[in-house]
Amino acid sequence: MIHDISGQINTLKITDPIGIAGEYSIQRFNWGPPKSTPKSALTAFVDDGVDPKTDACTNILNDLTGKISFIDRGTCGLSEKALRAEMKGAIAVVICNTATGSSAGVISSGVLGEGAKLKINAYLMSNADCQKIRTNVLTGTMSVELLNKPVTCPATYDADVFYGNVPGQGDFNNGLNGWIVDNADPALNTRTTWYHSETGNPNSLFLFSSNDIASKTKCNGAAAIDLWDLQFADNPNFNTPLNRYSSSLISPPINCTGKNNVLVQFTMLHNRLNGNAQISFFDGTNWSAPRIIETKNGINTSAVSEVVSYPAPELANKQNCRVRFSVSGDFYYFLLDDVIFSDKKIVDIRVNTNWYAVSPSLRVPKDQVSEIPLLADIENIGNASASGTSLKVEFKNEAGNVISTLINSYGLVPGDSLVENKPFAQTYTPPAVPGRYTGSYIISSPDETTGTNTNNNEDFEFYITDKTFGNIWPESEIGVAYMEDIADSWVINDITKYYSAGNVYYVKKGTGYTVSNVRFGLDNTKAEVDGTGYVFADLYELKI
């Protein structure tokens, strides 16, 4: 299937003078209005009066009313340059790249979201093309056109796909195409929550994210909700508590008649701070309970695109099916593309990452080694049953040698189901030999669909020590000031903070033993220590 690109401006056209006539590729910045429109106007380089005069790093002197302004890339923020041009009347901005400058798709909107203030679009042109036309732009008498030159990106679909394989359905081709925006707060109805991103990128770009949904049909855009933009508009200084926003995007009706194994797949870029995304399904009568959309992206780490699938057995043979994506939080954004429905049996079993047993303590003295009870909840997140399901735990020593294996049999696990609280019949007692040990829960079924076994393992580790209990890693791994990372402080003033932390250790053979040292990890220079601080350590015995 060939998908045409949306109306995104991607070409600058010159018809006169003949010597430089032609079409030049330009790349739209993600900030500014979400929709770009064709324009034709005179061009002019900016003049800010300070060498180099054409970089707009200070306020622009010349009048740009009704013109497409050209600006050289320099040391100041690009969105700041564009904003200065807009204030002098420019209707669009073309920034001339340097020979080594990065592309528009990875450039952020500037300090405190300057890009969010822009009411005009800005584009990036290569250094070579800018140098070719520079002399004529400087005359102020040359006209250019900003236009969309259609390009295509191929996307293929399996035969069992029955929705999303036609342009204008789940690919968000040039718009939301009948998908409905439903805001939790009616006050948001006059605001832009979900919107069509022509570039397939958010308006707000962050260096700790790829900012790229990288979907099959990114060429024609994607659906997006940009929480950063909303936050900045309402709370430009980011005062706490931060505002929270909640909005849903609901599909048009989809005919699932005759489809017995409905599977919903989509591509997302999930970059959040405080909040989550959820998915739910409508069977023509009721909405299903929302499910948290899980992501492997950490918080404030490099967020990358993910392809996600959810079984929807409640939609089997239903005529009026819908899917709803709900996003709630304060930062940053959620991108969605290539939503497809297929009639396909999938068996995908995994260990539930929220509930499995590990060693009672991370670090245990060799004289206090005790049995480890074993249990893990398991899931079949596919839509078809998994027969012969078994879960094993494999223990390895520091050399990587398997020293013990235990197995728990589950038999038949239905699709879209969770099996809880089925402990192993045996426990495991590690050897009383100091070192690092690992345990791995490994689930398997002969029915598992090829390619879905990347989530079949869940690992944990523990250490046997000479004399020390501990529930954090050694300071050589996490640093000496680890208390600041594992415990919130109660701040009294600039020099007074209280930290509180608690740990529980299972001491099987406590008779005759004493606690001789308790170690805390805070790191201060001698000049910061005035001798008035205290460390209190309370030791309790809990009998069960």
Phi–psi pair at 366, nearest 5 degrees: -60, -30
User: Is residue 544 situated within a structural domain?
Assistant: no
CATH classification at residue 83: 3.50.30.30
> Which DSSP helix (H) or strand (E) runs through 477?
helix 475-478
Region label for 317, one of left (φ > 0), alpha (ψ between -120 and 50) or beta (otherwise) = left
Tens place of pLDDT for every residue, the chain, 544 residues? 333 344 577 899 999 999 999 999 998 887 777 777 899 999 999 999 999 999 999 999 999 999 999 999 988 888 899 999 999 999 999 999 987 776 665 555 554 455 557 889 899 999 999 999 999 999 989 999 998 877 667 788 999 999 999 988 999 987 899 999 999 999 999 998 999 988 888 877 665 567 789 899 988 889 999 998 899 889 988 888 899 999 999 999 999 999 999 999 999 999 888 899 999 999 999 999 999 998 988 887 778 899 999 999 999 999 999 999 999 999 899 999 999 999 999 999 999 888 899 998 899 999 999 999 999 999 998 888 999 999 999 999 999 999 999 999 999 999 889 999 999 999 999 999 999 999 999 999 999 988 888 889 999 999 999 988 888 777 777 776 666 666 666 666 666 666 666 677 778 777 877 888 777 666 666 676 666 666 777 777 777 6
Q: What is the pLDDT of residue 398?
A: 94
User: Of the residues 327, 343, 359, which one is the last residue of a structural domain?
Assistant: 343
User: Is residue 540 situated within a structural domain?
Assistant: no
Q: What is the pLDDT of residue 495?
A: 61
The first and second tokens of residue 412, run together, are 């038949």
Write the CA distances from 338 to 174, 262, 329, integer angstroms. 13, 16, 23
Instruction: Round to whole Å and give the CA distance between 347 and 261.
Output: 11
Contact 31, 122 (CB under 8 A): yes
Percent of the chain scored above 70 by pLDDT? 87
The first and second tokens of residue 214, run together, are 């990288």
Same domain, 269 and 168: yes
Same domain, 231 and 296: yes
Q: What is the pLDDT of residue 479?
A: 73
Burial letters for 252-284: b for 16+ Cβ neighbours within 10 Å, e otherwise?
eebebeebebbbbbbbbbbbbeebbbebbbbbe
- Rounded to the nearest 10°, the torsion over CA 421, 297, 338, 257 is 10
User: Is residue 542 situated within a structural domain?
Assistant: no
Same domain, 433 and 498: no
The first and second tokens of residue 307, run together, are 């392809």
* Long-range contacts at 498-501 (CB < 8 A, ≥ 24 apart): none
Q: What is the pLDDT of residue 71?
A: 96
Same domain, 52 and 77: yes
Q: Which amino acid is at 292?
A: I
User: Is residue 10 situated within a structural domain?
Assistant: yes
Q: What is the pLDDT of residue 516?
A: 80
User: Of the residues 103, 128, 147, which one is the last residue of a structural domain?
Assistant: 147
pTM: 0.69
Q: Which residues contact 102 (CB under 8 A, 6 or more apart)?
A: none
pLDDT (tens digit per residue) in 20-34: 999 999 988 877 777
User: Is residue 63 situated within a structural domain?
Assistant: yes
Q: Which amino acid is at 525?
A: T
DSSP secondary structure, 370-414, as one string: --B---EEEEE-SSS-EEEEEEEEEEE-TTS-EEEEEEEEEEEE-
Same domain, 292 and 417: no
Range of 420's domain?
349-465
Same domain, 353 and 449: yes
Q: What is the pLDDT of residue 4?
A: 39
Same domain, 121 and 160: no
Q: What is the pLDDT of residue 202?
A: 81
DSSP secondary structure, 13-40, as one string: EE-SSGGG-EEEEEEE-SSS-SS---EE
Same domain, 100 and 190: no
User: Of the residues 313, 343, 373, which one is the last residue of a structural domain?
Assistant: 343
Same domain, 504 and 461: no
Same domain, 317 and 227: yes
Residue 122: name the closest of 64, 83, 174 by CA: 83
Same domain, 116 and 138: yes
pLDDT (tens digit per residue) in 273-296: 889 999 999 999 999 999 999 898
User: Is residue 470 situated within a structural domain?
Assistant: no
User: Is residue 543 situated within a structural domain?
Assistant: no
Q: What is the pLDDT of residue 266?
A: 97
Q: What is the pLDDT of residue 211?
A: 79
Say which residue the tokens 């399901």 belong to.
389
Burial letters for 315-346: b for 16+ Cβ neighbours within 10 Å, e otherwise?
bbebeebbbbbbbbbbbbbbbbbbbbbbbbbb
Handedness of CA 222, 225, 227, 233 (dihedral sign): positive
Q: How many domains does the chain have?
A: 4
CATH classification at residue 251: 2.60.120.260
Same domain, 371 and 223: no
Q: Which residues contact 510 (CB under 8 A, 6 or more apart)?
A: none
User: Is residue 456 situated within a structural domain?
Assistant: yes
Instruction: Round to whole Å and give the CA distance between 189 and 187.
Output: 5
